[in-house]
Structure 1
Amino acid sequence: MTAELADAEMLVVLRGACSRVGFDAADAELLRLGENAIYKLPGDIVVRISRPGQQAAAHREVQVARWLEASGVEAVQTVPEAEQPVEIDGRSVTFWRELPPHENGTPVQVATALRKLHGLRPPANFTLGEVAPFVRLQERIEAASTLTADDRRWMLEHLAELRQRWDDLPKGLPWCVIHGDAWVGNVVSTDDGQVILLDLERTSIGPPEWDLVHTAIKWKSFGWISEKQYDEFCDVYEYDVTDWQGFELLRDIREFRMTTMAAQSATTNPADREQAVHRLACIRGEQGPRPWGGWKALD
């Protein structure tokens, strides 16, 4: 499906959902069209449309946001006027308060936010569920039409290997509430100094190292941050995940997830094909040792 067709399809869903809750979708602005479609409405409202079949996940994300707000954790907030999620044509639609001007958080800000989140007791009125490190990876691989047969075979075999290694994950820090996708784009800093958690879809119970490895690979795998910045991150969190026996496994899973995301995106966005090829070459050992150059944000 082309981006134009996808946008047209999402607009139908958007208008149906807005009609249900009494919002006007006439001047909606498309912000992002990826795994989820994101639109902005007048009145500082952001609408998120899920991929099909995510009703339970969307419902839980709304619950998580409301629980974090009640717990005093700064995170993206739902629009209280809307009864949500709204289900339209198999897709879940949720409504959120638009954030004030912001930028990606620094490693120190990420560490501070994660310490606070990891210290929470799990909610009493609903179940978070356990972390799912391999969710949607096989579907992404099978749907990535730009992959060669050899690349697809290798990725499926590598996925099976990672699953087997996960079963033998070494003991680390006690499992706790985790964000689940704690890269700096999901931990942002506003102009007035707030540090806010976004994209709560993967919030769950799991090893805190799963959140920490995001920042570790920015230094170790890609050189996106300096050693000094990483040391500051570890000082604030008071733990260095790279010293843990399970670090290499979580690193490999994270790199693999990023590669499957690029392969999926390249199917509909030709601008991402070069990035998908490069990422796969790196994790296949064809680009030398880490840190690898050339890993860039997807278009």
Structure 2
Amino acid sequence: MSQSADAGTRAVLDEAGRRAGLDVAGAELVRLGENALYRLPGGIIARITRAGQAAAAAREVAVARWLEASQVPAVRVWSGVEQPVAVDGRAVTWWRELPPHRPGTAYQVATALRRLHDLPPPAGIDIGRLDPFVRLTERIDRAVTLDEADRRWMRRHLEELEARYLELPPGLPECVVHGDAWIGNVVSTADGEVVLLDLERCSIGPPEWDLVSTAVKALTIAGITREDYEVFVQAYGHDVTAWAGFTTMRDIREFRMTCMAAQVAAENPARQDEVVLRLACLRGERGPRPWPWQPVP
């Protein structure tokens, strides 16, 4: 996000803090990305969504409370505050700050997903069904650093992926899925506790959607070794790459990563080269995987 976006989120934070009765005067910006995160005095993290995400924020709070009641380590909501707080179309939620932590290993991601997938769906909470295409049309429309020919190609590719998703072969039984289960969203604290983060896409869906993120990490961008991926498979007990629907799930995940890069580039044009690279890879212009994709915020 730009400096103007920073100022905009700060104004939202100030108003949300006033309504919630929380002191945000000493708030420190932690990250500006898909969401804006601020650290408040007293161990509170404020999370500010983009516009139109109030329902997802409310679901994230409900899921976090359910996981806490189920004794599954995950981010915890700050109690005693009404959540979410809506300000100018954006949703603000309040969370307990995690102790020092680091990204989870492939083994830790696998065991955390196994624990989540084994839970019965929550009673009394409508967490909805997985939508692997959520917000992609919006991200394409806002990819202003791309020309219209590129955006047309992305829209056609999205339609193709949506059609392929409807034709997926049978797989594992549906369950509660995290929805965005890449290694950065599963962290390990200093005492060894493995914690789930970013619960806004939790829903009912095929567990393969969670598993494919680690497969893409290993096979598409070589972010972990193949040996790490084998550890992941053994720990979870299933290899999603052996499933007939894997290539469809992989292609959707890769396209989501590309659309995210396009969104980032629209706010930070210095990331434009990464978008161009990813599009060329998806079009088959950069040879076989793995591809040299670099992280974007």
Give the TM-score category using the shorter length.
over 0.9
> d(CA) in 2 for partners of 1:143 and 1:160?
18
| Partner AA of 2:254 in structure 1 | E
Maintained 8 Å contact 2:145/2:269? no
Question: What per-residue deviation string (whole Å, max 9, x for no partner) do you get for residues 165-205 of structure 1?
Answer: 01101100000010000001100011110100000000000
| Partner AA of 1:118 in structure 2 | H
Deviation at 1:20, TM superposition (A): 1.2
| Partner AA of 2:80 in structure 1 | E
Aligned to 2:200, what secondary structure does the other structure show?
Answer: helix
| Partner AA of 2:264 in structure 1 | S
> d(CA) in 2 for partners of 1:152 and 1:197?
34
> d(CA) in 1 for partners of 2:276 and 2:28?
31
Structure 2, unmatched stretches of 5+, are none
> d(CA) in 1 for partners of 2:2 and 2:27?
17
User: Percentage identity across aligned positions?
Assistant: 61
Q: What is the aligned length?
A: 297
Deviation at 1:81, TM superposition (A): 2.2
- Could you say which residue in structure 2 is the equivalent of 1:233? 232
- Which consecutive segments of 4 or more residues in structure 1 shift more than 3 A? none
1:292 aligns with 2:291: yes
| Partner AA of 1:31 in structure 2 | V
Q: Which moved more, 1:208-217 or 1:142-151?
A: 142-151
| Partner AA of 2:109 in structure 1 | V
- Could you say which residue in structure 1 is the equivalent of 2:216? 217
> d(CA) in 1 for partners of 2:263 and 2:252?
16
Aligned to 1:122, what secondary structure does the other structure show?
Answer: coil
Superposition map of 1:1-299 within 5 A? 3-293=2-292, 295-299=293-297
Aligned to 2:82, what secondary structure does the other structure show?
Answer: coil
Q: Which moved more, 1:245-254 or 1:262-271?
A: 262-271
Deviation at 1:218, TM superposition (A): 1.3
> d(CA) in 2 for partners of 1:217 and 1:9?
34
> d(CA) in 1 for partners of 2:190 and 2:294?
25
Question: What per-residue deviation string (whole Å, max 9, x for no partner) do you get for residues 79-109 of structure 1?
Answer: 0021111111111110000010001000000
Q: Which moved more, 1:251-260 or 1:122-131?
A: 122-131
> d(CA) in 2 for partners of 1:9 and 1:225?
36
> d(CA) in 2 for partners of 1:227 and 1:50?
35
> d(CA) in 1 for partners of 2:226 and 2:89?
45
Aligned to 1:188, what secondary structure does the other structure show?
Answer: strand
> d(CA) in 2 for partners of 1:227 and 1:33?
32
TM-score scaled by length of structure 2: 0.98
TM-score scaled by length of structure 1: 0.98
> d(CA) in 1 for partners of 2:88 and 2:52?
10
